[in-house]
Amino acid sequence: MKTISYVNMQSGGMMNFNNNGWLGVKYLALLLIGLSLLLIVEIGTAATVPLVLPQTDEAPQAPPARPKKAKKAKETSAGAGTRAATAPVTYENKFRPFSYSIPPGWTLVKGDPTGYAADFGSGGIEFKKDGSRCYFSISWNQYPQCSRKELMEQKFEKAVKEKNSGHHMAVKDRDVEEYLAVKRRNQGGEEGIIGCETIAIDWTGTFCIKWECTDGENYFYRFSTRCYEKNCNAHRAEMQRIIDSIRFK
Query: Does any domain span residue 113?
Result: yes
117 and 26 assigned to the same domain: no
Q: Are residues 124 and 198 in the same domain?
A: yes
* Global pTM value: 0.65
* 126 located within any domain: yes
**Is residue 59 situated within a structural domain?**
no
- Name the helix (H) or strand (E) containing 207: strand 207-214
41 in the same domain as 151: no
- Residue 30: give the domain boundaries: 4-48
Is 164 inside a domain boundary? yes
- The CATH number of whichever domain residue 206 belongs to comes to 3.40.1000.10
* 36 & 93 share domain: no
Cβ-contact 198, 160 below 8 angstroms: no
Would you write out the chain's pLDDT as a tens digit for each of its 249 residues? 444 444 443 444 444 445 555 556 566 667 777 676 666 655 555 555 454 444 545 555 555 555 554 443 333 344 565 667 789 999 999 999 999 999 999 999 999 999 987 655 456 899 999 999 999 999 999 988 889 999 999 999 999 998 888 655 444 555 567 899 999 999 988 789 999 999 999 888 899 999 999 999 999 999 999 999 988 999 999 999 999 999 999
Give CA–CA dist 215/154, Å, rounded.
16
Provide the domain count of the chain.
Answer: 2
Q: Is 161 domain-assigned?
A: yes
